Amino acid sequence: MATEQSPLLDHCPSSLPGNAYFDENWYAREQCLIWQKEWVYAGRLNDLPIGKMRPLKIGKMGIMLCRLSETEVVAYHNICRHRGSELCRVEQPLGKTISCPYHAWSYAAADGHLVSTAHATPTADFHKEENGLFPVATMLWNGFIFINAADEPSPFIPDLGLETYDNWPMASLVTGHKSVRNLNCNWKVFWENYNECLHCPSIHPELSDLVPIYREGLMSESERQDWSPRKTPGNALKEGAVTWTFDGQPCGPIFLDLTKAQIKKAANFVTIYPSTYIVAHVDYVRIVSLVPTSPETTQLTAEWLFSPATMKQIEFDPSEVAAFASIVLEQDAEAAEMNQRGLRSPRFEAGRLMPQEFYIHNFHQWVRQRLNVN
Ligand code: FES
Ligand SMILES: [Fe+2]
């Protein structure tokens, strides 16, 4: 029997229906009710130079991010109020105004108000103050930029709280490596795979070698039948290993302020639906983010962040560090694509979750709640 505090489910719930993974209408509802309403990762502050603006896409929604100063980033919908043209096509210098490349209306970069209608002369029924850029909320957290396109954004709350990474020097980390992969699967299939380790023994031999508990298909000790919250967790990694690299050794100095528990854990995950998870190790940090590009395709981006001290080491090669998790990500990508091919069959109605898939159930409930479906 599961103990009272165990996260294991006490039943085997149904998963989402098959059409949730390919149906255009379902996808359109998710765009409206999830992707245009929730906080979505938009890149590292360090990677958007002051005085630059950059376009990005979330589903069909175009956004432009503008770095005004050291500490200020603003975002707008990437559409002109004249006749709807895209305003920002590539990363480019940002002046005091943003000018439409079509008929040259211009808007103030700092607050989006309409400055000029260029060669056009409006009549008295046109009010400039009603025709500024549509704003998008921004949030800076630990050097990560998040955006929210809702009219009234909900509070930004990572699953483990805002203070989780207080012991990491997050804001000062720099991006040492980045990879982008297009997945042939619905975005939710990626999250389902992320949320369980039953696949670890068969899909991830290298990771299961490094993290002994993964060999048993478990994510943590709390999933054991005899688990008690009073037991102190041991080291998560195999003997002699301290971090997620091929040899288990750190790629640079260990972050100074980590607690013993954070060091023992070796991988400190934070999940921010619908777009992102972050995993902080003792020597580097990885952020994985996704955006749906169609009902059955998803763009996945992974970034590896290091301290400036680590980056300065002679002969340091961030891509060598990245190679370890890249293998794991590729294994997960192939598993997710295999899953998508199967659930595309008209015979598939819905799956059944096992007690160990409590995080997937939570994710499904999160989705159902937002779409208002059972
Ligand atoms: S569409 Fe932008 S100025 Fe005409
Ligand atoms: Fe995996």
Q: Which ligand lies nearest to the CA atom of residue 205 in the structure?
A: 2
E strand or H helix at 99: strand 97-99
**Ligand 2 mean position, distance from CA 332 (Å):** 5
**Residues 133, 63: Cα–Cα separation, whole Å:** 11
Q: What are phi and psi of 265, to 5 degrees?
A: -70, -35
pTM of the model: 0.95
Nearest Cα to 301, choosing from 314, 293, 291?
Answer: 291
Instruction: Report which protein residue has its CA nearest ligand 1's atom 3.
Output: 103
Q: Kindly report, residue by residue over 342-362, the tens digit of the pLDDT.
A: 999 999 999 999 999 999 999
3-state secondary structure of 321: helix
Please state, as a whole number, how many other Cβ atoms lie within 10 Å of the Cβ of residue 160. Answer: 13
Q: Kindly report, residue by residue over 291-334, the tens digit of the pLDDT.
A: 999 999 999 999 999 999 999 999 999 999 999 999 999 999 99
**Ligand 2 mean position, distance from CA 314 (Å):** 33
Q: Kindly report, residue by residue over 161-211, the tens digit of the pLDDT.
A: 999 999 999 999 999 999 999 999 999 999 999 999 999 999 999 999 999
How distant is the alpha carbon of residue 147 from its chain centre? Answer: 12
Cβ 98 under 6 angstroms from ligand 1: no
> Which of 3.90.380.10, 1.10.645.10, 3.90.550.10, 1.20.1600.10 is the CATH number of 1-22+168-374?
3.90.380.10
**Residues 170, 182: Cα–Cα separation, whole Å:** 27
163's tokens? 């203070």
Q: Which ligand lies nearest to the CA atom of residue 86 in the structure?
A: 1
**Ligand 2 mean position, distance from CA 371 (Å):** 27
Q: How confident is the model at residue 4 (pLDDT cuts 50, 70, 90)?
A: low
> Which atom in ligand 1 lies closest to the alpha carbon of residue 83?
1
pLDDT at 88 over 60: yes
Cβ 83 under 6 angstroms from ligand 1: yes
Residue with tokens 């619908």, as numbered in its chain: 274
**Residues 82, 15: Cα–Cα separation, whole Å:** 45
Ligand 1 binding pocket mutation candidate from 81, 88, 89, 103 (most atoms within 8 A of CB): 103
Cβ 167 under 6 angstroms from ligand 1: no
Q: Where are the domains of the chain?
A: 1-22+168-374, 38-158
**Ligand 2 mean position, distance from CA 192 (Å):** 10
Q: How confident is the model at residue 3 (pLDDT cuts 50, 70, 90)?
A: very low
Q: How confident is the model at residue 219 (pLDDT cuts 50, 70, 90)?
A: confident
Cβ 82 under 6 angstroms from ligand 1: yes
Q: Which ligand lies nearest to the CA atom of residue 330 in the structure?
A: 2
**Ligand 2 mean position, distance from CA 323 (Å):** 15
> Which atom in ligand 1 lies closest to the alpha carbon of residue 100?
2
pLDDT at 11 over 60: yes
Write down the pLDDT at residue 207: 93
Ligand 1 binding pocket mutation candidate from 78, 97, 105 (most atoms within 8 A of CB): 105
Q: Per the CATH hierarchy, to which homologous superfamily does domain 38-158 belong? A: Rieske [2Fe-2S] iron-sulphur domain (2.102.10.10)
Cβ 107 under 6 angstroms from ligand 1: no
Do the bridges between strand 14-17 and strand 350-352 make them parallel or antiparallel, or are there none, so unpaired? antiparallel
What's the burial of 38, exposed, middle or buried (CB within 10 Å: 0-12/13-18/19+)? buried
What's the burial of 156, exposed, middle or buried (CB within 10 Å: 0-12/13-18/19+)? middle
Cβ 29 under 6 angstroms from ligand 1: no
Matching fold, domains 1-22+168-374 and 38-158: no
**Residues 300, 289: Cα–Cα separation, whole Å:** 6
Mean pLDDT of 52-69: 96
Ligand 1 binding pocket mutation candidate from 100, 121, 128, 134 (most atoms within 8 A of CB): 100
**Residues 309, 311: Cα–Cα separation, whole Å:** 5
**Ligand 1 mean position, distance from CA 87 (Å):** 8
